[in-house]
Each structure stands twice: as structure tokens, then as C-alpha cells.
Amino acid sequence: MTKIAPQPGIMEIALYEGGKATIDGRDDVLKLSSNENPLGAPPSAQLALAEAARNLHRYPSTDHAALREAIGEVHGLDPARIICGVGSDEVLQFICQAFSGPGDEIIHTAHGFSMYPVLIHMVGATPVCVPEAERVVDVDAILAAVSDKTRIVLLTNPGNPTGTLLPDADLQRLADGLPEDVLLVIDGAYTEYAKGFDGGTRLASDQPNVIMTRTFSKIYGLGGLRIGWGYGPKNLIDVMTRIRQPFNLSVVQLAAAEAAVRDRDWVETCAALNVQQRARLVGALRQLGVACDDSQTNFVLARFADAAEAAALDQVFQADGIIVRRVIGYGFPEALRITVGDAEQTGRVIATLTKWRERT
């Protein structure tokens, strides 16, 4: 018998399950389960990565100065208030590690990102799950859940898997309503797809207790490379930097991310394609009698009659080589989350749905 005991909380962690990527016996699989960019990675970033690969024997910079400079320039932010991580997942981990621990509570919402409970248990804190109102973050419910032990509120905006956006005024009300010693984290992984949303930039610039996180995994098409960043008050970023490993990002990650963030044409092209195909998919779903909210992201949450119908549809999609995401763990057994693809891919999804509807 081992006497080696894990730290409190670790055994509470349910392993994160990524989106399925393969179907046995098929080589024409269309993966729409992880909100990846249908156009792939930007050529500018691929080129920068190949060039950086000539320097693999060199250690990367420890301060990420060039990447922070580029992000700051593009988004009009102070580079000294930016921290970069191995995906925004790592930035969220820095936040939880730096500002909470055993005995503390971290609030997240019912349909928030499924990585949050993993990160909360990782640091030994206690997750407090707050309901949403009709698939939209409920500010009053969050404020009501705050206790003396609350240290952090983790918010996905726009939501995943809901795709809904909490408007600026409500975000402001939330920030204003929280005690000064509670940190509000705005996870803006899908910001670039949300019309008119600043990703929490204004709040993270002005408020002493707000941090926003962003990623290169979605609109920048670099999910396989793992880069994300956070922005907030300098004193909080400085605390987080102390627990960041000095070489957390490799030379190729840094080079590709810098090229990608400067590639504004790419972002525009991807956002425009997404708007077009998302409208097409939402329109088709509704025409076929499938409920879905307006989405501010690169995916759509399709709500079917019940869990059995969602499960059946999942099988129908797979029979046609299409992988979508079941979202039972997110509190939606009756729904499927479908990533918005390009025109041809969206056509394939709609064809399968139409065929299913004609048969039932």
C-alpha cells in the first residue's frame, strides 16, 4: 500500500474530454467537435513557424517581449499588462493558482467551460456552480452566490457551449457588484466572432479586479500549437508571472503567434466566413424545427426534442462521417454543439439534417 497521498482536490478531477476526432473505418471525417477554424492555420503563421524552426537549438525568450509588443500594438494594450501562456488554459491556471487555494471558493456558471472545475480542483479550491437564465449568464445569481470565501468568478463570454453573449452593461454591473477582493475573469476565447464585444478590454483596463483571457486556438487556427494570453492590472499580472515557467512558450509558438496576431486580414476573412455560414446553419436548423439561440461564436448549440433525439442525431451525423459535440457534461443532454465550417462543410451538415428530418 502506498503512503503517497495526492494533494486535496486532485482526486476530484474528472479528466477533461476533448472533442472526438475519428470514426472507425472512415477517412472522410468532418470534425466539427472542437470549434476549430475551417480554414486552418494562417499561412503567415506557418511561414513564421518554419523560419523559427531553424533556431530550435536556442532557448526561447523568457519575457515574450516581441509577442506581447505585437498583441499590445494590435489591440491597443499596454504590453506590460499582458501575460502569455500555453493556451488560455494555462493563463486560467495561473489565475487560479495565484489567487486561490484550499478553503477558497471559485464561482463558475452552469454552462461555463468544462476546464474550470478541473482548474479549481487542481488548486484545492471549491467550485461553486451558479445557474444561468435561459442559457445566458445570470449576473444576479452570481452576485447572490458570493460568500466570504469567494476569491474568483470565472466567466465565459460569449458562452461555450451556449454561444450567447452577456452584454457590456451586464458585465459592468457584475464587476461593480463584486466585492473588491474578488477577481472577475472574462474568458473571451470567442471574442473575435462576437459583434461589437471588446472581450472585456475596457473592464480589464479600468477595474482593479478584472482580468481577461484570449486564445490563438480559435479564430487564429492555432489550437494545435497551444498559445493564449491574459490582460489585466499590472500588479496581478506580475503575481502570475512569478509562477509562470520562464520557458513555457517555445520559439515556434512565439513566432507563429506573433505573425498570426499581426495578420488582421486573416481574422477579417475568418470572421466574415463564420458570419455567413453560421447564419446559413442557424437558418437551416430553425427551418427543420430544431431550436437554437443566435450565436456570437463559431459554433451553434442545436437543441433537439430530448436527450434520446440528440443521441440519435449524433449517430446519424457519425454515419455520415460528421463528428459534432455532445454536451451532456455542460448540462445539455438534449443538445449538440456544432462548429461552423466552411461552405462545403456546412452544406454537408445541412444535408444530413435534412435527410434525417425527411425520414422522421
Ligand X SMILES: *Cc1c(COP(=O)(O)O)cnc(C)c1O
Binding site for ligand X (CB under 6 A): 35, 87-89, 113, 156, 160, 187, 189, 215, 217-218, 223, 228
Q: Number of C-alpha atoms within 13 angstroms, CB side, residue 160?
A: 24
Q: Considering the complex, state which of residue 99 and residue 229 has its C-beta at the smaller distance from ligand X.
A: 229
Nearest-approach distance from CB 165 to ligand X, in angstroms: 13
d(CA 336, CA 286): 14
The beta-strand segments (E) located in the chain are 30-31, 82-85, 105-109, 126-130, 150-156, 183-187, 210-215, 228-231, 299-303, 322-323, 325-327, 332-339
- Torsion, Cα of 260, 265, 267, 273 (10° steps): -140
Q: Which residues lie below 8 Å from residue 122, measured CB to CB, with a gap of 6+?
A: 9, 10, 13, 93, 96, 97
CB neighbourhood size of 235 (10 A): 9
Q: Considering the complex, state which of residue 142 and residue 284 has its C-beta at the smaller distance from ligand X.
A: 142
> Which residue carries 427551418 as its cell?
287
Packed helices 343-359 and 307-319: angle between N→C axes, nearest 10 degrees = 120
Q: Whose CA is closest to 94, among 115, 119, 77?
A: 119
Q: Report the Cα 148 to chain-centroid distance in Å.
A: 28
**Can you tell me whether residue 9 is helix, strand or coil?**
coil
Q: Whose CA is closest to 91, among 228, 209, 191?
A: 228
DSSP-assigned letter for residue 162: T
Hey, what's the cell of 342? 466552411
**Which residue has the closest beta carbon to ligand X?**
87
d(CA 316, CA 353): 9
C-beta separation of 350 from 174 below 8 A:
no
CB neighbourhood size of 306 (10 A): 11
> Which residue carries 461553486 as its cell?
128
